Amino acid sequence: MIGIVGIVAGDHGRNCDEHSVCGNVLSESEDVVVRLRKVQVLVDGKEETAIAVYWITGGTERCRVGFLQRHMVKHAAQYDGALAQVTAVLGTHSESKEERRMHHVNKGFCYATILTALPETVKVEGR
C-alpha cells in the first residue's frame, strides 16, 4: 500500500487541456490504475527527484495526477515504472477526522496498491 499526495493540486504538471486538476479523475471512479515514474521537478527554484503518479486509461499513460510521499524518493529506482490501483480516496467527506486532516495537509490524498512485481533489493554487507 502506498500513499499518493497532491491529487487536488493543479501545479507541477498536474493539469492539462482537458482537466484543470488532473487528480480529480481519481475520485470519479473506483479502481483507477496509475503508473509511477521517477521525475525531476522544480521545488522553490531547486531541482528535486520525485516519484510522479500518472493516470492510465485505455492502456495509455495520460495525466500526472499526484506524487508519492517525499520519504519514498529513496526507493525511486524500485518504484519507477510500477503499476498501482487506487483503493481509497480521502477527502473532506471522510468520516474520520484524521482522514480529513490527511486530505488537507497533503493537498489531497489517496491510497493505492502496487499491482506489478517490484525488483528485489539486495542489502550489501557493511552498508
How far are the Cα atoms of 76, 114, 115, 120 from residue 13, in angstroms, in the given order? 19, 23, 24, 30
Query: Would you say residue 120 has pLDDT above 80?
Result: no
Query: Would you say residue 29 has pLDDT above 90?
Result: no
Average pLDDT, the chain: 88
pLDDT in tens, 60-78: 999 999 999 999 999 999 9
Question: The pTM is what?
Answer: 0.86
CB 64 within 8 A of CB 56: no
Type of residue numbered 15: N
The contacts of residue 57 (CB under 8 Å, 6+ apart) are 33
Q: How confident is the model at residue 89 (pLDDT cuts 50, 70, 90)?
A: very high
The contacts of residue 99 (CB under 8 Å, 6+ apart) are 90, 91, 109
DSSP reduced 3-state for 105: helix
pLDDT in tens, 36-67: 999 999 888 999 999 999 999 888 999 999 99
Residues 1/44/81/65 CA torsion (nearest 10 deg): 70
**What Rg value do the Cα atoms of the chain yield, rounded?**
15
- Break the chain into its structural domains and give their ranges: 2-114
pLDDT of residue 123: 64
